Amino acid sequence: MREEATLHLPVTVDKSHIITLGERLYGESIELVRELVNNAYDADASRVNVQISKDEIVVEDDGNGMDLTFPTRIIPT
């Protein structure tokens, strides 16, 4: 069985983006976390790990997400 390489694409957003996501789209923080977990399962993930600390929320999964060209097509540079 061939093991595939895993690529990580770190994403950094401005605080205003978090405010838009957190306050305008989602009434409560748990709704945002739920959306991220649902996205992972939509990508056929069998494992989702959510870590919540004072400074950050990390959601990691083993789903089949977007390819690396997708963000460059939708996010202006």
What confidence tens digit (pLDDT) does each residue in 25-53 have?
666 667 778 888 998 988 899 999 999 88
pLDDT of 2 over the 60 cut: no
Determine the Cα angle at 23 with ends 19 and 29, to 5°: 100
Q: What is the pTM of this model?
A: 0.54
Q: Which residue has the higher pLDDT, 9 or 55?
A: 55
